[in-house]
């Protein structure tokens, strides 16, 4: 089978290779991958900023395809079923433990830049029938995380969500938050992207380049109340402002480190407003399944900004690594 290997933690260290197609063991399936989707995590892996991988390795956590072969002891799946294998295949549900965190596709397990991959059958989720392979490939990390954010904050028709940036997780969170009837504020460095966000249902928008005090603006836009959910993607530069922009008893859903991992924070507003500072580590297979079910129920369509051929993988990585060039997701087709 054809695959792409990352031979070192460098953004240009890709090589095309041919390897024997793996065979599924007991409880496993062989998946013919059709599309992969990039996350910021893949850049962190390819720049040595994320611990775990041993090089050379098959990169890219997220992908989608169809079952090509069943191992022994696999029930409930058939050859030809359209599936997404989850990023963290051993974490089925419940609380994360160190042993469940060990296996991560595209980090410590083979990723999605290959024609075939063997995964545990228990890590598979069916693709909603209205989605293409490319659209489905965006689900494991971004949709699962966005789904957990929206559910964690218990968003409803009287809630406000403040979503930082227009990357993969934020755009899924926009779609899920609107499906829950919430009012949504999106921030971006680009007016054009904010226009696109409004097209997807964003009620209010803030250009954080033009308005560096976007937290104050978010408070103003909510009549001083703040947001019930703040999707905290930025880390160092954004975390204190996210705390400021959160409503009484609001949830700051901490997922990202786009500007670093070490903010300086005043703890007083966290106490005074009784905030929930909720960390998140993607989520279990059950959360991906719930996110996919919501996508099917609401006929949501993941937003793909651009698709790249498998042979143009370095270009795709460079595009994402440049930061701020995309809206939603970038996809790589597996041919
Ligand atoms: N912990 C978890 O469970 C989990 C899961 C998924 C992702 N993450 C993390 O969450 C973050 C976002 O992931 P992603 O995949 O959605 O990333 P992405 O697709 O690369 O999107 C990043 C977007 O964030 C915005 N941004 C950059 N700097 C910003 C800043 N200073 N203030 C506000 N927005 C800023 C930009 O939006 P504009 O171009 O619109 O300005 C950029 O396009 C990453 O750090 C990723 O590693 C964590």
What one-character-per-residue DSSP string does 36-48 give?
EE--HHHHHHHTT
The number of beta carbons lying within 10 Å of the beta carbon of residue 98 is 6
User: Right CATH number for 143-279 from 3.20.20.150, 3.40.50.720, 3.20.20.80, 3.40.50.1370?
Assistant: 3.40.50.720
Does the CB atom of residue 63 touch ligand 1 within 6 A? no
Does the CB atom of residue 237 touch ligand 1 within 6 A? yes
- Write out the chain's pLDDT in tens, 335 residues: 999 999 999 999 999 999 999 999 999 999 999 999 999 999 999 999 999 999 999 999 999 999 999 999 999 999 999 999 999 999 999 999 999 999 999 999 999 999 999 999 999 999 999 999 999 999 999 999 999 999 999 999 999 999 999 999 999 999 999 999 999 999 999 999 999 999 999 999 999 999 999 999 999 999 999 999 999 999 999 999 999 999 999 999 999 999 999 999 999 999 999 999 999 999 999 999 999 999 999 999 999 999 999 999 999 999 999 998 999 999 999 98
DSSP 129-166: TT--HHHHTTIIIIIHHHHHHHHHTT--TT-EEEEESS
Q: What is the best residue among 167, 190, 235 to mutate for testing ligand 1's pocket, by most ligand atoms within 8 Å of CB?
A: 167
Among the listed residues 132, 77, 123, 155, the one whose alpha carbon sits nearest the alpha carbon of residue 282 = 123
Q: What is the best residue among 166, 197, 245, 256 to mutate for testing ligand 1's pocket, by most ligand atoms within 8 Å of CB?
A: 256
The residues spanned by each domain of the chain are 2-138+302-333, 143-279
Question: What is the tens place of the pLDDT at every residue in 300-334?
Answer: 999 999 999 999 999 999 999 999 899 999 999 99
Does the CB atom of residue 7 touch ligand 1 within 6 A? no
For domain 2-138+302-333, give the fold: Quinone Oxidoreductase; Chain A, domain 1 (3.90.180)
DSSP 169: H
Asked if 172 contacts 200 with a C-beta cutoff of 8 angstroms, the reply is no
């Amino acid at each position: 089978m054809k695959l792409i290997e990352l031979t070192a933690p460098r953004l240009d260290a890709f090589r095309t290779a041919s390897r024997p197609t793996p065979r599924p063991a007991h409880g496993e399936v062989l998946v013919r991958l059709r599309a992969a989707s990039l996350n910021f995590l893949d850049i962190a892996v390819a720049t040595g900023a994320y611990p775990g991988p041993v090089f050379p390795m098959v990169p890219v956590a997220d992908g989608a395809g169809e079952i090509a072969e069943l191992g022994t002891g696999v029930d409930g799946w058939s050859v030809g079923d359209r599936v997404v294998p989850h990023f963290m295949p051993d974490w089925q549900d419940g609380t994360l433990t160190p042993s469940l965190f060990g296996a991560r596709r595209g980090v410590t397990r083979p990723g999605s830049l290959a024609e075939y991959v063997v995964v545990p059958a228990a890590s598979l989720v069916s693709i909603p029938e209205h989605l293409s392979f490319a659209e489905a490939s965006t689900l494991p990390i971004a949709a699962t995380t966005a789904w957990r954010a929206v559910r964690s904050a218990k968003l409803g028709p009287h809630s406000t969500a403040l979503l930082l940036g227009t990357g993969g997780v934020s755009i899924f969170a926009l779609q899920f938050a609107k499906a829950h009837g919430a009012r949504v504020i999106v921030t971006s460095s680009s007016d054009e992207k904010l226009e696109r966000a409004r097209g997807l249902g964003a009620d209010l928008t803030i250009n954080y380049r033009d308005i560096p005090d976007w937290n104050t603006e978010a408070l103003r836009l909510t009549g001083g109340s703040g947001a019930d959910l703040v999707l905290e993607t930025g880390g160092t530069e954004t975390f204190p402002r996210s705390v400021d922009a959160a409503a009484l008893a609001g949830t700051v859903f901490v997922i990202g480190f786009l500007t670093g991992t070490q903010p300086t924070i005043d703890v007083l507003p966290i106490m005074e407003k009784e905030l929930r500072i909720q960390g998140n580590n993607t989520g279990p297979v059950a959360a991906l399944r719930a996110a996919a079910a919501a996508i099917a129920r609401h006929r949501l369509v993941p937003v793909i900004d651009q698709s790249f051929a498998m042979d143009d993988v370095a270009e795709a990585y460079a595009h994402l690594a440049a930061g701020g060039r995309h809206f939603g997701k970038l996809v790589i087709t597996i041919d």
